[in-house]
């Protein structure tokens, strides 16, 4: 299994505060002979059974010296997970969790706006200090 992201525990706590029950930590996917691990799987158990929402969350800290390299790696990983998840658990929505500074530095800039407009990623924007979710961007 891969190492946990720096903000893994903060995102997990933020999801729980937001009414989610963590069902997988990590969520294992398999496609052919390849195993993949999305950081978290969760369900909104407060909703009625028929309206239950299931999500998978990949947490990224964007901590390297190159924001663009981090972005390229995160979007590539997200794309692979999205495609596999759509086959093995099509009812589960995939989100990329980023802290507020990353959202401002990258996703409020033209490159990030382009990715969001083209629906390349869904985001959860969180505050690591308060362990709160600030925004859901489907």
What CATH number should be reported for the domain holding residue 103?
3.40.1350.10
- What pTM was computed for the model? 0.93
What pLDDT shows up at residue 3?
A: 78
Distance CA 116, CA 108 (A): 10
Count of the separate structural domains present in the chain = 1
- Average pLDDT of the chain to the nearest whole number: 94
CA angle 130, 135, 138 (to 5 degrees): 145
pLDDT at 52: 80
CA distance 85 to 79: 10
Burial class (CB in 10 A: 0-12, 13-18, 19+), 28: exposed
Whether the predicted pLDDT of 40 surpasses 80: yes
Residue 49: predicted pLDDT: 56
CA distance 134 to 132: 6
Domain with 57 in it: 8-137
- Residue 2 maps to a domain: no
- Arithmetic mean of pLDDT, 95-110: 96
pLDDT band at 1 (very low <50, low <70, confident <90, very high): low
């Amino acid at each position: 299994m891969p190492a946990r992201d720096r903000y893994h525990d903060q995102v997990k706590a933020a999801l729980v505060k937001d009414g989610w029950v963590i069902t997988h930590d990590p969520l294992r996917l398999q496609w052919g002979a390849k195993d993949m691990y999305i950081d978290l799987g969760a369900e909104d158990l407060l909703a009625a059974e028929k309206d239950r929402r299931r999500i998978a969350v990949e947490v990224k800290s964007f901590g390297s010296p190159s924001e663009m390299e981090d972005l390229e790696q995160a979007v590539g990983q997200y794309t692979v997970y999205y495609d596999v998840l759509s086959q093995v658990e099509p009812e589960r929505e995939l989100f990329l969790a980023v802290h507020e500074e990353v959202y401002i530095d990258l996703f409020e800039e033209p490159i990030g706006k382009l990715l969001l407009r083209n629906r390349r990623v869904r985001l959860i924007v969180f505050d690591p200090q308060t362990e709160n979710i600030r925004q859901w961007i489907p």
